[in-house]
Chain A
Amino acid sequence: ETGVTQSPTHLIKTRGQQVTLRCSSQSGHNTVSWYQQALGQGPQFIFQYYREEENGRGNFPPRFSGLQFPNYSSELNVNALELDDSALYLCASSPSAHSGNTIYFGEGSWLTVV
């Protein structure tokens, strides 16, 4: 149990639709990072939110957007879904003061685009 909860766990969308994925971070963690993991690959960094502000972004198009709320939970929104967006989406929460084992991943949301 990491204390990081993601929803939904599985979903199927049609190409062109929009999706919202949610992440509730562990208590006391004010930073949330989102990753996309295609089958057989390592996770790819999408973006990070720190205290409700975006704090860095990976190589993803603007149709990937996010939000962090005052309780530090977060959303990932993807517009105009494409087939290649099919992947496991992971969120990781961490505190601002860091040590090695204080980054925790949620179980992920499996997105299939058909």
Chain B
Amino acid sequence: GQNIDQPTEMTATEGAIVQINCTYQTSGFNGLFWYQQHAGEAPTFLSYNVLDGLEEKGRFSSFLSRSKGYSYLLLKELQMKDSASYLCALTTDSWGKFQFGAGTQVVVTP
């Protein structure tokens, strides 16, 4: 099975940078995803890593180290609309079968 850990909550001010860490233990690996979920809404795709290294996509970047079972999501130039839950999700076999972490609630303050 898998075990995925991420912090419960993080607070940062508008314009700042926040890094959300995700550690995992797994016997198989087929990709690590980050999703954003606003309260009461569906998760929306942010990033995907299958190889080690950094993937940059505008204000969001995601990093993966498979040997360390570690990923992070970096949110730059925080905006109020970035207040949401951020979900780390692992897929180990067929596409669309995820093991999700419990989510990190990011609160952006003025």
Contact = CB atoms under 8 A, between A and B. Distances in A.
Interface of A: 2, 4, 31-33, 35, 40-45, 48, 50, 55-56, 90, 92-96, 98, 100-108
16 contacts: A2-B42, A2-B44, A4-B42, A31-B96, A33-B98, A41-B103, A42-B101, A50-B94, A56-B94, A56-B97, A92-B96, A103-B95, A104-B45, A105-B42, A107-B41, A108-B42
A20 B99 CA distance: 24
A73 to B, nearest CB: 15
A105 B42 CA distance: 6
Given A43-B87, A104-B45, 14 more contacts: A4-B42, A31-B94, A33-B97, A40-B102, A42-B87, A45-B99, A48-B97, A95-B95, A101-B48, A105-B35, A105-B43, A105-B44, A108-B41, A108-B42
A98 B91 CA distance: 12
B42 A55 contact: no
Interface size of B as a range: 20 to 34
B70 interface: no
B97 A107 contact: no
B35 to A, nearest CB: 8
B102 to A, nearest CB: 5
A42 B48 CA distance: 17
Nearest to A55: B94
Contacts of A106: 42
Contacts of A98: 95
Nearest to A58: B97
From B33, B42, B45, B50, name the one whose CB has the most chain A CB atoms within 10 angstroms.
B42
A103 B42 contact: no
Contacts of B99: 45
B44 A41 contact: no
A45 B95 contact: no
A49 to B, nearest CB: 10
